[in-house]
Structure 1
């Protein structure tokens, strides 16, 4: 794959152009990364509101009708519902893994199959999440693993 970077101070807006003979998995990942970098996550701590980079988010979790955004060392409140987060980050590294959790696949360090077709994932920060058997095939597909 050839990569060309053209830095032009006269350019009014950053632009990514991909020229290819056909689409492949590597190009889809590049497109996903480019798209997700433009979507900020709004989280709050106390009375402060923060704009978070999607790449810094490890996972979203719903607990008692509240949504939390987990980063490496902080937990933020989020005003969006899980289905809204799913829609916002569709086609990116974020994947619903059970009824209350969406994880960032880019933060997955290890997978461990457990009973009844479930999978335990370990994230880069050491936290573990359970992937329900309903979502396990989709996880394997997104990671390019066989069934």
Structure 2
């Protein structure tokens, strides 16, 4: 793959152009990364609202019909529902882990298979999340692991 950077102060807008004979998985990942870097996550703490970088999010979790955003050191309230977050970040590093959680695969440190086809993941912050049997195949596919 050939990569060309054209850096010129005269350019008024950043632009990514991909020229290819055929679209493949590597190119799709690059497109997804470019798209996700433009999306912000809106979270609130008390009356303050914050625009968070998706890469700073470890996971989203729904507890008692409220969605929370977990970062390295803070927990924010989120106005979106889990299915809206899932749609917004489709094709990125975010993956539905179970009925109430969406994790950022970029923050996963290790995987540990457990009973009944479930997978326990340890995040970079030491927290552990369970990937349910229903979502385990999607995790394996996204990570390129055999079934």
- 1:96 alignment partner, SS class: strand
* Structure 1 partner of 2:47: 47
Q: Which residue of 2 aligns with 1:128?
A: 128
**Structure 1: runs of 5+ lacking an equivalent:** none
Shift of 1:130: 0.1
Cα distance in structure 2, aligned partners of 1:126 and 1:2: 38
1:101-139 deviation per Cα after TM superposition (whole angstroms, max 9, x unaligned)? 001111111110000000001111111100000000111
Deviations 1:71-108 (A, max 9, x none): 11111000000011011111111111100000111111
1:137 equivalenced with 2:137 (yes/no): yes
- Once the two structures are TM-superposed, the CA of residue 27 in structure 1 deviates from its matched residue by 1.6
SS at match of 1:50: strand
Count of equivalent residues: 147
What is the distance in 2 between the residues matched to 1:122 and 1:77?
23
The 5 Å alignment of 1:18-97 reads: 18-97=18-97
- The equivalent residue for 1:99 is 99
**1:36-63 CA distances to partner (integer Å, 9 max, x unpaired)?**
0111000001111000011111100000
Which 4+ runs in 1 deviate beyond 3 A?
none
Structure 1 residue 34: deviation in Å?
0.6
TM value normalised by structure 2: 0.96
